[in-house]
């Protein structure tokens, strides 16, 4: 599956509150054709956009996503650090984000966040939202959780998957045979040229996160990385 060279991280986190609908619009306005969003289930089982378990960092609200219904989350502002309309952005459902992405012709990497023992539930919520979304929306599932990625494979085998990790696991070939990813998403600080070469020779893609420096992005592209996740608009020469 072909993604874009630069993928907006959590929308475009340097220009709009992360994991919000305006963040998706801002990414398109800045020229992105793909974004990544973080997804977890609310108390009612509805998949919503939130990187953290709590809204304390983004919304200054001591609220746990897993213990709050999606309708309530949709009323909580999570634009801390921004002003005006951006500051009032609230927690959207994954379905609403996918509906907007379809309108914007925006591809979405859905990172399934999963605390211990929650992989199946988290993946189920994400797949359920996708099943209601416009068929035109282009998506890829990803997760740090092998359980979540495997569950996505079982429930939606037609949707491509990626395994996200800090350092490429020593047993990545065995893992790939089991969960059948199309990509590995690796932390830029731990990714080596040897890792990139090995994964590419196996016919899989490699993306690096989170890359906010153009020179580092260029170095990664020289290594053979297919693309990067970024909070910023990077001025790079590679086409």
Q: Do 86 and 117 form a contact (C-beta atoms < 8 A)?
A: no
Distances (CA, A) of 149 to 11, 154, 156, 191: 21, 9, 10, 21
pLDDT above 60 (res 102)? yes
pLDDT above 70 (res 220)? yes
Its pTM stands at 0.97
Structure tokens at 26: 């801002």
Pairing label, strands 161-165, 47-49: unpaired
How many other β-carbons are positioned within 10 Å of the β-carbon of residue 92?
25
Kindly state whether residue 183 falls inside one of the protein's structural domains.
yes
Using a 10 angstrom Cβ sphere, with 0-12 exposed, 13-18 middle and 19 or more buried, the burial of residue 37 is buried
> Containing domain of residue 73, as a range?
6-230
Of the chain, the percentage scoring pLDDT greater than 90 comes to 95
- What is the domain count for the chain? 1
Kindly state whether residue 47 falls inside one of the protein's structural domains.
yes
- CATH number for 102: 3.20.20.190
Kindly state whether residue 238 falls inside one of the protein's structural domains.
no
pLDDT of the residue at 238: 61
Kindly state whether residue 235 falls inside one of the protein's structural domains.
no
Kindly state whether residue 239 falls inside one of the protein's structural domains.
no
Q: 136-178, pLDDT tens digit by residue? A: 999 999 999 999 999 999 999 999 999 999 999 999 999 999 9
Kindly state whether residue 77 falls inside one of the protein's structural domains.
yes
pLDDT above 80 (res 2)? no
pLDDT of the residue at 236: 83
Instruction: Give Cβ neighbours of residue 202 (< 8 Å, ≥ 6 apart).
Output: 173, 176
Phi, psi values for residue 189, rounded to 5°? -70, -15
Q: 13-56, pLDDT tens digit by residue? A: 999 999 999 999 999 999 999 999 999 999 999 999 999 999 99
User: Could you tell me how many residues make up the chain?
Assistant: 239
Kindly state whether residue 174 falls inside one of the protein's structural domains.
yes
Kindly state whether residue 219 falls inside one of the protein's structural domains.
yes
Q: 77-92, pLDDT tens digit by residue? A: 999 999 999 999 999 9
pLDDT of the residue at 239: 45
Pairing label, strands 47-49, 107-112: unpaired
Compute the mean pLDDT over every residue in the chain, rounded to the nearest whole number. Answer: 96
């Amino acid at each position: 599956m072909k993604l874009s060279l630069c993928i907006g991280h959590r929308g475009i986190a340097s220009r709009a509150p992360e994991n919000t609908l305006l963040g998706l619009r801002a990414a398109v306005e800045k020229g992105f054709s793909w974004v990544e969003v973080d997804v977890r289930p609310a108390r009612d089982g509805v998949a919503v956009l939130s990187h953290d378990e709590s809204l304390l960092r983004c919304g200054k609200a001591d609220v746990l996503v897993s213990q709050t219904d999606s309708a309530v989350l949709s009323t909580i502002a999570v634009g801390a650090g921004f002003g005006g309309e951006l500051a009032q952005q609230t927690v959207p459902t994954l379905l609403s984000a996918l509906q907007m992405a379809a309108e914007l012709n925006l591809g979405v990497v859905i990172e399934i966040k999963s605390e211990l023992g929650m992989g199946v539930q988290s993946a189920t919520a994400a797949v359920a939202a996708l099943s209601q979304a416009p068929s035109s929306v282009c998506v890829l599932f990803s997760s740090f959780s092998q359980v979540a990625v495997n569950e996505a494979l079982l429930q939606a085998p037609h949707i491509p998957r990626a395994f996200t990790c800090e350092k490429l696991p020593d047993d990545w070939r065995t893992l790939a045979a089991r969960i059948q990813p199309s990509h590995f998403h690796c932390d830029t600080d731990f990714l080596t040229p040897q890792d990139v070469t090995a994964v590419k020779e196996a016919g899989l893609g490699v993306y690096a996160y989170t890359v906010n420096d153009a020179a580092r992005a260029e170095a990664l592209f020289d290594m053979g990385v297919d693309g990067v996740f970024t909070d910023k608009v990077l001025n790079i020469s590679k086409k």
